[in-house]
Amino acid sequence: SDIGESLGCKVNDFGWYEVDPFGQTNVPGVYAAGDIAGTHGQSVLNSAASGSMAASRIIGEILTAKAGF
């Protein structure tokens, strides 16, 4: 899928989205996890872990926005 690219997400030389340790791409509010992010190798366990990290960051952002910080 090219959804991320159509949103403006940067892709590295391997075809994976460039993300920070929490899965955030260069586009605010857009996250990538698992094999498409390519940060933790290609395995089911690593994909699940990167998805969990992204989810924790997203939840933190939502809670921070609701609290008005």
Question: According to the model, what pLDDT value does residue 2 have?
Answer: 85
Specify the pLDDT at position 58: 95
- Buried b or exposed e, range 28-60, using 16+ CB within 10 angstroms: eebbbbbbbbbbbeeeeebbeebbebbeebeee
How many degrees, rounded to 5, is the angle at CA 6 between CA 59 and CA 21? 40
Tens digit of pLDDT for each residue in 14-57? 889 999 989 999 999 999 998 888 766 678 888 898 899 999 99
**For position 54, what pLDDT does the model report?**
94
Q: Residue 46: what pLDDT? A: 87
